[in-house]
Amino acid sequence: MSKNRNIGKKSASKLKSRRKNIPSTEQLMEGILKGDQSMLARAITLVESTNPEHQEKAYDIIEQCLSHKNDTLRIGITGVPGVGKSTFIESFGSMLTDMGKKVAVLAVDPTSTLSKGSILGDKTRMPHLVNDPQAFIRPSPSGESLGGVARKTRESIILCEAAGYDVILVETVGVGQSETAVHSMVDFFLLLKLSGAGDELQGIKRGIMEMADAIVINKAEGKNIKQAERARSEFERALHLYPPKESKWSPKVVCCSSLNGSGIPEIWKMVNAYAIQSKASGFFKNNRQNQNTYWFYQTVESLLQRQFYNEPSVKKAMLPLQKDVEELRISPFRAAEQLLAAYSKGLK
Amino acid sequence: MSKNRNIGKKSASKLKSRRKNIPSTEQLMEGILKGDQSMLARAITLVESTNPEHQEKAYDIIEQCLSHKNDTLRIGITGVPGVGKSTFIESFGSMLTDMGKKVAVLAVDPTSTLSKGSILGDKTRMPHLVNDPQAFIRPSPSGESLGGVARKTRESIILCEAAGYDVILVETVGVGQSETAVHSMVDFFLLLKLSGAGDELQGIKRGIMEMADAIVINKAEGKNIKQAERARSEFERALHLYPPKESKWSPKVVCCSSLNGSGIPEIWKMVNAYAIQSKASGFFKNNRQNQNTYWFYQTVESLLQRQFYNEPSVKKAMLPLQKDVEELRISPFRAAEQLLAAYSKGLK
């Protein structure tokens, strides 16, 4: 207590309540390693926080979690809104927990602030899984840049794995750039599609097709089955047009019904076949290493930019230069050089 | 000559030959302003050069060209390989030169090193335009990052405009990220499509549809006409699904035949209607200013990164940190922090 002698009553009580609210790093680590869901959730809240103190703590925890290597599988799941991602995850995830697996569901959804309809925001979309003690579901953080949301999801994966989750499902919407971010944090990338009318207009991007390790045609049930089968052979033909993947895995196209469960066990078998093949070839490990490197450089560049734009000399020179650029008094390149010069001068 | 007293014979002759090969900034500027195509071409070569001396000279020229404002139109043209971009440009461009316009054709094609089939690389694809004194065709530079290629194309536009070219056509392939780059350097963005089978598989991205100010269905000739008309109404319906554009322009869908010229004059009328509308609303000018700002920040960030990665302290720390990240000895975030710290220390 003697150390706190100079702290006013108010600050002291604030500090106390903060201490009360946030467990220590040790407590959090202990909880995570025991698989305590509420401790895991609180640690992820620290990861998502923008408070520098919380971030510092979060990085201590992430650092400690890194060394707890588990034999995990990270599966990315994408598809346009309405394709049935939640019901698929509900069905696929419940099957896995029935098999004794521990399943974590995370989301990357930078669109949530725009559409107000955050994926995973409404946990009731997965009524069974949400009450399953073997499953951990984390709604998507919102209101930040894609880079920020994605980085935090990636860090949450590390925490979930240290907490003993075997299978990590990362959900994202198949529009925009979020799939690329998810693709660079998972082992297996699964694209959900619907058969039939209107799907072309939902316009999944060519790039996503190329990323997919499997295309799953959902809602293949009742009178949809025939149409789904037709879509399956169409997609198979389309996939043949792409060059072979670095993993040497040939992407599969399968039909399933999240409603009646048909095709769901086959998808798990397929993911396992992929894991066996890519581990044997060394691709699995290699890919994770490359992903780590990718996130390292992504983080370097975002920190570098933040540092640059926060430098007072840059802040001061930036808008006048932008004005000059807009009005053609200077070329963008010369203006950029001058801003860099202001930065260097400011650092000295 | 007395200044050169200390320069050896070899250097002196090298200097002399360089002087002979590259005209002075004044000569180049004079040539450009007179509309001398060979001087313009040589100036663009300086823009594309990676030699720092050439770059310095190039920026002096660009800076001087900026102030020569002309009433120009920059039109981006994209479409997958095979859609007939060259024949369209040949037909559209020749019509414009017949009308007394001066037309420059540039290209952004970062795929050229991969596919070896550089767009515009083969000038014989536009046999008429290439011999037209009113037209200037510049093959795409290759072997660099998209950012680099795009920036240089954008700078070449400035030079072409100072040389009196009224209409600048910027061609790009509709795969990858190059359309976004082109979209951010043109006034009007035109997407070429084919009607009929196989086109869906050519998979134009949703994002490109959203960027397009017009979709032009090419090869609408002979027995293709009916199919092209059908495609036209389909695309029109599809475009209705998109939110209105900031420019308030409703994108048009038109058919044309680059072969027999039908529909080509209507496309020029449409582009003019767009220019009139967007100039009246102020969007035209505003958009160009935003584009300048965009290129300013793009350049700032690429210079900042170059400076960072060239800093000796960063070079030294980078690979060991990357190794630590790959092997999970450190989190990407902590490693990034350390690399930034090395940078700051190195600058002091």
How does DSSP classify residue B135? E
Please state, in angstroms and rounded to a whole number, the distance separating the CA atoms of residues B173 and B202.
12
> How are beta strands B214-218 and B188-194 bridged, if at all?
parallel
3-state helix, strand, coil in chain A (%, to 5): 60, 10, 30
Mean predicted lDDT score pLDDT of chain A: 84
Phi, psi dihedral angles at B166 (to 5 degrees)? -85, -40
Q: Are B264 and B254 in contact (CB under 8 A)?
A: no
Indicate if the pLDDT at residue A250 is higher than 80: yes
A103-158 per-position pLDDT tens digit:
999 988 765 443 444 455 555 678 899 999 999 998 776 655 677 778 889 999 99
Going by pLDDT thresholds of 50, 70 and 90, the confidence category of residue A1 is: very low
Identify the CATH number of the domain defined by range A21-68.
1.20.5
Of A155, A289, A329, the CB nearest to B326: A289
Give the three-state DSSP class for A211. Answer: helix
**Which of A154, A304, A318 is best to mutate for the B interface (most B CBs within 10 A)?**
A304
Provide the terminal-to-terminal Cα distance of chain B, rounded to the nearest Å. Answer: 41
- Predicted pLDDT at A165: 97
- Phi and psi at B199, nearest 5°, equal -70, -35
CA B201 to CA A238: how far, in whole Å?
Answer: 7
Query: What pLDDT digit, counting tens, does each position of A180-234 carry?
Result: 889 999 999 999 988 764 444 344 555 677 789 999 999 999 888 988 988 888 8
**What homologous superfamily does CATH list for A69-283?**
P-loop containing nucleotide triphosphate hydrolases (3.40.50.300)
Say yes or no to pLDDT of A264 above 90. yes
Cβ pair B304:A209 closer than 8 A: no
A221 C-beta neighbours (distance < 10 Å), count: 17
Q: Which of A325, A337, A347 to mutate to test the interface with B (most CBs of B within 10 A)?
A: A325
Q: Give the pLDDT of residue B119.
A: 53
Predicted complex ipTM: 0.76
Q: Which of A78-82, A97-101, B93-97, B341-345 has the lowest average pLDDT? A: A78-82
CB contact under 8 Å between B332 and A207, yes or no, is: no
Q: What is the pLDDT of residue A136?
A: 96
Q: How far apart are CA B12 and CA A347, in angstroms?
A: 40
Structure confidence at residue A106 (pLDDT): 93
Among the partner-chain residues A59, A300, A333, the one whose CB lies closest to the CB of B331 is A59
Is the distance from CB of A206 to CB of A242 less than 8 angstroms? Answer: no
pLDDT at residue B113, rounded to an integer: 43
Min mean pLDDT across A34-43, A64-73, A175-184 is at: A175-184
Q: At what angle do helices B52-66 and A332-347 cross, to 10 degrees?
A: 120
The pLDDT assigned to B200 comes to 43
pLDDT at B346: 83
pLDDT exceeds cutoff 90 at A163 = yes
State the pLDDT at residue B20. 54
Does pLDDT of A65 surpass 60? yes
Which residues on A lie below 8 Å from B303 (Cβ)?
A: 336-337, 340
Which amino acid type is present at position A96? Answer: L
Q: Which two tokens stand for residue A203?
A: 């316009």
Domain boundaries along the sequence of chain A: 21-68, 69-283, 296-347
Say what the pLDDT of residue A173 is: 75
Mean pLDDT of A80-100: 92
**CATH code for the domain defined by B70-281:** 3.40.50.300
For every residue of A223-289, DSSP letters joined together read GGHHHHHHHHHHHHHHHTTSPPPTT-PPPEEEE--TTT-TTHHHHHHHHHHHHHHHHHHTHHHHHHH
CATH fold of the domain at B22-68: 1.20.5
**Segments of chain B with pLDDT less than 50:** 1-5, 17, 112-118, 197-203
- A247 phi, psi to nearest 5 deg: -75, -10
Residue reference for tokens 């990718």: A294
Residue type, B274: Y
Sequence-distant (6+) residues with CB within 8 A of A287 are: A187, A247, A278
